[in-house]
Amino acid sequence: MLKNIKGAIFDMDGTLIDSMWVWSKIDEEYLRKRNIQLPNNLKQDIEHMSFSEVAQYFKDRFNITDSIEEIQNEWNEMALYQYAHKVDLKPGAKEFLTLLKSRGIKLALATSNSKPLIEIALKKNDIYHFFDSITTTDEVLRGKDFPDVYLLAAKKLSINANDCVVFEDILPAIKGAKAAGMTVIGVHDTYSDYQKDDIINLSDMYIYKYLDLIEAV
């Protein structure tokens, strides 16, 4: 499956780094400070959205008076310490990136996170230098449930969509990457276990750890 791939596009949170727990805590803490109970359906509603879309969602749903920029800045401040000190790579991720790079495969990041946290997380884990391009969903009109961010990531690499493989951990994003005409490898994350069967069915391949893939490259 990976033999003829020219470009690999990675999601960051939950795919390369073990960080979804950070956002679960931030959502709960942010709402608790405003005496708002965390809704049961929040995760499903926002997981595919861009960073700015999530801020708009919070503003509209919870009647937040802060501006979109103020909401995003508060979230960045809440996440900063965790991303700089506590968020680690998924097992085997660095070794897999090293192998892909040694084979001449171009690497891109396609994420819904904010640029300050992206840079902090990648540099903290010593993988920033691997990526030929970084694309966020705030650069396109729609979230990860659409192909836009993946197509832009491939364009930045100057590689056709059908020559790219995407690594993702959530179902809406896998749907978006498939809609882009790309091969998709689902990456296990406990945050997405409630979607696991659907993720396995839709993905071209599903892995629990990157070491499983090293022999396939």
- Tell how far CA 203 is from the center of its chain: 16
Q: Tokens 């904010």 label which residue?
A: 114
**pLDDT tens, residue by residue, 67-99:** 999 999 999 999 999 999 999 999 999 999 999
Distances (CA, A) of 175 to 93, 126, 143, 144, 163: 23, 30, 11, 8, 17
Domain boundaries, the chain: 7-19+87-214, 20-86
Which pLDDT band holds residue 47 (cuts at 50, 70, 90)? confident
Residue 217, pLDDT > 70, answer no
> Could you tell me the CATH superfamily of domain 7-19+87-214?
HAD superfamily/HAD-like (3.40.50.1000)
Which pLDDT band holds residue 49 (cuts at 50, 70, 90)? confident
